[in-house]
Amino acid sequence: MRVGEKQAGLVLYILGIALPIAKPPVERPACIDVVTGEVCKGVDLFFLILEVGLMMSGAVFLMLSQDFRNDHERNGWLGIATGLGIAFVSGYSGLEVLALFGVILATIGLLVYKYGRMNP
């Protein structure tokens, strides 16, 4: 069963990372700010939730297929995988606040993972 979980997780994770390249979760309605000349942007919540959800469910399936020493190591690995995925999806789409959240989540996940590796 672990081989199937690993393959399903890898497919979902890669699909969640590749989908924003094909369709970024940013919509550009037909409006321009007259003062600055910038085009208005909005977030398409359906695609954002779909892309992040695929990536996170893929990370969970990959986590289930691995053997970890303890809960800290497992949760840290999950934080790193989801944080990097969120940072990539939102960074590619131009959502800076969400990209910063992903980087912070990955950093905290790395600290928890290292703590779990030190304490078996």
Q: What is the pLDDT of residues 3-15, one digit of tens each?
A: 788 898 899 999 9
**Distinct helix (H) and strand (E) counts, the chain:** 4, 2
Domain of residue 96 covers 2-118
pLDDT band (50, 70, 90) for residue 76: very high
Stated as kind and residue range, the H or E segment containing 18 is helix 2-22
How many separate domains does the chain show?
1
* 73 neighbors 117 (Cβ within 8 angstroms): yes
Say yes or no to pLDDT of 21 above 90: no
